[in-house]
Amino acid sequence: MATPLAPLRGLISQLPFTNLPLKVYPVTSAKTPSNSLRLYCYGPGFNDNVTSFDPTSLRWLSFLTFAGIDFQVEYCNEPLMAPNNRLPFLMTPTNECIADDAIYDYLVRTYGDQLPTVPTDTRPASAFALLTLIDTHVKPAVQHYFWYDEANYREQISVAYTGQHQWPIRWVEATALRKQNQREVALQFTDTVSGEEIYERALHTLRDLASYLGEQDTYFFGAARPTLVDAALFAYLFPVLTSTMPNSTFKELVKNIPRLSNYIRALWDQWFRKREEAA
């Protein structure tokens, strides 16, 4: 028996959008089961295939490498796939997502003595103090170098972080990341400061770190393996030293501290060069 809606249903059934899906696209990457950790992060590096141009991503990539932990790197460059909409994050073998400071807590809880630590005669507070100096003095300088300088941002940073997208999504995501990083820098200072002042404060800290490292030790505190302190400093300085920014002011300033630039190069040579050659 016909109903009042029968003519309408007949009309709708002839429209193309009623036959879903409209178009099927082939799968570009298959999900592969893994029994190891997976680090989802930005990358790869500015001029290599085994690090990351993003300091936060490189911090954890380096630390996992230094610890000798079996893990896979997934360069996804898509923060929206993260549980907190930020990269990096760690996916455990049980498919648990770990992000931010919880990454270190998870590694300590899971791997314990396997992680590289400072020697027993070094107070933990010393390592914490160096990490705090690096995060509060060096990080803002790197953020300023990446996100404040218009030429650097336009020609290398925005392309690295969001170049995989089409306009206008690329512009929207890059602008959001830029504002986020600029806001983080502004929170470090109570008054308006210039880029030169931010760089000078960072250089003062870097010179102190070079003196603390000394001429003989391979890693901070004379540790047998690089610790989280080494991973943090490497993560901030390696992208700076390997970038090809139009305005290379901060890069040249860092290069003028030979002890640290040689230290960063030595970490690359020992822990990443073979992986790059095999890639």
Cβ neighbours of residue 15 closer than 8 Å, sequence gap 6 or more: none
**Residue 61 · residue 271 · CB < 8 Å:** no
**Residue 179 · residue 230 · CB < 8 Å:** no
- pLDDT at position 214 is 81
66 vs 116: CA distance, rounded Å: 7
pTM of the predicted structure, to 2 decimals = 0.85
Tell me the per-residue pLDDT of 209-267, one tens digit each, with 9 for 90 and over: 999 998 877 898 888 899 999 999 999 999 999 999 999 999 999 999 999 999 999 99
Q: Could you state, in order of their start, the residue ranges of all structural domains in the chain?
A: 124-271
Task: List, edge to edge, every strand of the sheet that includes 71-75.
Answer: 71-75, 37-41, 89-91, 97-99
The CATH number given to 124-271 is 1.20.1050.10
Q: What confidence category does residue 7 fall into, taking pLDDT thresholds of 50, 70 and 90? A: low
CA dihedral angle for residue 8, residue 13, residue 19, residue 20, rounded to 10 degrees: 20
**Stretch 153-168: mean pLDDT:** 92
Structure tokens at 213: 């490292």
